[in-house]
Chains A and B, each alone.
Chain A
Amino acid sequence: MRSVSIIGVGCTKFGERWDVSLRDMIAEAGLLAIDDAEIAGEQIDALYVGNMSGGRFIEQEHIGALIADCAGLSRLHVPSTRVEAACASGGLALRQAVLAVASGYSDIVIAAGVEKMTDVSSGTAADALAAAADREWECFFGATFPALYAMMARLHMRRYGTTHDQMAGVAVKNHHHAMYNPIAQYHMEITLDDVNRSPVVADPLHVLDCSPISDGAAAVVLAPTEMAAKLADTPVRIAGCAQASDTLALHDRRDLTTLDATVAAGRAAFTQAGIEPRQVDVAEVHDCFTIAEILAIEDLGFVEKGQGGRAAEEGMTALGGELPINTSGGLKACGHPVGATGIKQAYEIALQLRGEAGKRQVDEAEIGLAHNVGGSGGTALVHIFTR
């Protein structure tokens, strides 16, 4: 297997992009990435795109061919594949692209992610997202995603003494980080009080504990590491790439307060990279709800099980802390266009390792991690990046 590196990245502004379509956004992100990599279309061997539900959100499937067309690559007959793993679709597209390059089948490969979610009503969007849960055994009985994560939160609170203020602290921190990220959906500082006073969605989760509905696209360009050194000034190596599955339904899990798929993917990625969790300098984790960031940093081994709530409270995971988490603003404040999120995470870590993250730059960041989850934990992807 060949070592793989990122040689170019691009990301659109995330948010309610009323003025653009899915194809506009994917073209914008793709152009930014190939501009950054300084490559030409003819050099591209393959495309992978993560997209959760073009069919439900914009009544458009066949997103693979669509993005090849938008990129002007259809006449070159470049193979283009759409992959789907709910909110982990972006992370999965990155992994497919990594596998294509590592295997030697392809050299220059684009991994992209895109979602246009605001063309439908919030009810339709919520129902499309609910398709990531077990429709027959969860949704038909009234479960929604906030409700599923609320159950995890309640048990975590009861078992480990985690408080809602600690969860709210994750939202406050991530909104603060987003202030420094020009592509973030929200440039708005919030307080613990704001979170606590926002309407309850599913007790204990309030509106401001939840990631928003967003539009956006992101793309990264991959190449074999040995080629990357010639093609880019500051290539970012993908040292670990792992994927794991778990039961689709939350109630079938071994433990409601642990995402075993995250644990498995994390361990595999760390082993592959030959790195310990404590060596990571910066990480983007899947904070679809505030409790999800707390679970993620525990399940990835950054803190002990049950200690995740204290990490945000004590400033460990803030910019300037021991391990800054979600410097982009995370899903919470940078936005969560579901198919694009996994690629945006890689984009953010690449900027951090290249030293190009501006005011949110983590000093001397050398090792970064991206963690992307599908549904309530049926799929998890972990990528580890090094300079």
Chain B
Amino acid sequence: MATGIVSYGVYIPRFRIRLEEIARVWGNGEEISEGLRVYEKSVPDLDEDAVTIAVEAARNAILRGGVDAKRIGAIYAGSESHPYAVKPTGTIVGQAVCSSSSYTAADFEFACKAGTAAVQACLGLVGSDHIDLGLAIGADVSQGAPGDMLEYTAAAGGAAYIIGRQDLAAEIEGFYSFTSDTPDFWRREGMPYPEHGGRFTGEPAYFKHVTSAARGLMQRLGTQPEDYDYAVFHQPNGKFPVRVSRMLGFSKKQIEPGLIVPLIGNTYSASCLIGLAATLDMARPGERIFVTSFGSGAGSDAFSIKVMDRIEKIRCKAPSVRDLIAGAEYLDYAVYAKHKGKLRI
């Protein structure tokens, strides 16, 4: 039986900071923004964290699909900024969206791909008929040390996907993962900010894993880039997804609808799931979407997705990604630093 996406929901905090404002403080030129192809990034409110963002995204998914939350048999929340080291994000989400207590839950962490790993886990339980619906979430309030290159892109946002067998808005035709022990980016226990291997995060990490997973899936399914109407790749900045799509043979037109990083930055576990949501916001029934995530450490999950008729019925029942990006309120660096807890009193 086909499994796939019953509904999806996104949440992006309404605050933004322009990269030129960060560059102004740290004395870097405008070329940083051009080099990264990112112009502004989302910033959480003072009281927002990965949990509140996950809840908002999950509520939008339930609202869009008109789903009875009590049917949800699993909640997997992926994040690299879970507010608690010990105590699950998933249970708080479950309580907030009024699901029954008859569900399993666990939190996932795999840098920027914990959200797609949660989707895969739900696909397994749903596909094997162990549960009716699964809720997979990627949500982050990602961290970048002041002045570090990461600070220019580390953003906040979440995406939730309800995975099931019936009433599919989009069928997941197959997935393929490529994983290796590659230390390109990490944050140790108790450390406030992650460290990264600079240029090592490129070729041997992002590009190797994304291309390997993408090629592996296309080989398995016997598909080619031209068989897809759209493609979404993990978006740590505006350059990498464009370059990797070119390497794989996808066109600029295919990735355009899902390329949201220039406007909101890198939302980590939510990054390519929000890109997918932006694509589902405008895709027509019968169209196919190719999605590949990337998580440092490192791994990539590639998915082949076919849009179903039901998308037209549910699309407008919750805010679109473009709705959530619009109406932003801009912060200066001082207020942004307060929002991000960079000022220790």
Query: What residues of chain A have their CB less than 8 Å away from a CB belonging to chain B?
Result: 16, 18-19, 118, 121-122, 199
Stretch of B69-77, B152-160, B197-205, B314-322 with 4 or more beta carbons under 8 angstroms from chain A: B197-205
Say whether B203 contacts A121, CB under 8 Å. Answer: no
- In the bound complex, what is the Cα–Cα distance between A121 and B200 (angstroms)? 9
6 cross-chain pairs, A with B, having the tightest CB-CB distances, nearest first? A18-B204, A122-B198, A121-B198, A199-B31, A16-B199, A18-B200
- Counting CB contacts under 8 A, is B146 at the interface? no
Of A18, A121, A199, which one neighbours B29 at CB under 8 angstroms? A199
Closest chain B CB from A128 CB (angstroms):
15
Q: A18–B198 contact, CB under 8 A?
A: no
Q: Which residues of B contact A19 (CB under 8 A)?
A: 204
- Since A122-B199, A199-B29 are in contact, a sample of 5 more A-B pairs with Cβ atoms closer than 8 Å, ordered by chain A residue number, is A18-B200, A18-B203, A18-B204, A19-B204, A118-B199
CB distance from A186 to the nearest CB of B (A): 14
Main secondary structure of the interface of A (DSSP, over half): loop
Closest chain A residue to B204, Cβ basis:
A18
CB contact under 8 A between A16 and B198, given known A199-B29, A199-B31: no
Separation in Å of the A70 CB from the closest CB of chain B?
A: 23
Where chain B touches its partner, the secondary structure class is: helix
Which residues from chain B contact A199 at a C-beta distance below 8 Å?
A: 29, 31
Please, which residue of chain A has its CB at the minimum distance from the CB of B196?
A121
Give the residues in chain A near B31, CB-CB below 8 Å: 199
Which residues of B lie under 8 Å from residue A18 when comparing CB positions? 200, 203-204
Q: List 13 A-B contacts (CB under 8 A).
A: A16-B199, A16-B200, A16-B203, A18-B200, A18-B203, A19-B204, A118-B199, A118-B200, A121-B197, A121-B198, A122-B198, A199-B29, A199-B31
List the A residue with the shortest CB-CB distance to B31: A199
B203 to chain A, nearest CB (A): 7
Closest chain B residue, CB of each to CB of A213? B199
Q: How far is the CB of A263 from chain B (nearest CB, A)?
A: 37
Q: Which of A18, A19, A118, A121 has the most CB of B within 10 A?
A: A18
A12, B152: Cα distance in complex, Å:
36
Specify which chain A residues have a CB less than 8 angstroms from the CB of B203 in the assembled complex. 16, 18
| A121 to B183 CA separation, bound complex (whole angstroms) | 13
Expressed in whole angstroms, the Cα–Cα distance for A121 and B198 within the complex equals 6
What's the nearest-Cβ distance from chain A to residue B210, in Å?
A: 16
C-alpha spacing A118/B201, complex, angstroms: 12
Q: Once bound together, how far apart are the Cα atoms of A122 and B199, in whole Å?
A: 9
A16–B204 alpha-carbon span in the complex (Å): 10
Complex CA gap A118/B198 in Å reads 10
Q: Which of B2-60 contact A (CB under 8 A)?
A: 29, 31
Residue of B nearest to A200 (CB): B29
A19-B199 Cα distance, complex, nearest whole Å: 14
Give the CA-CA distance A199 to B29 in the complex, in Å.
8
- Considering the complex, give the chain A residue whose CB is closest to the CB of B208: A18
Q: Which residues of A contact B198 (CB under 8 A)?
A: 121-122
Cα A199 to Cα B31 in complex, Å, equals 7
CB distance from B105 to the nearest CB of A (A): 38
Interchain CA distance A255-B199 in the complex, whole Å: 38
Which B residue's beta carbon lies closest to that of A198?
B31
Instruction: Give Cα distance in the complex from A199 to B200, angstroms.
Output: 21
B86 to chain A, nearest CB (A): 31
Within 8 A of A (CB), among B184-209: 197-200, 203-204
What's the nearest-Cβ distance from chain B to residue A41, in Å?
33
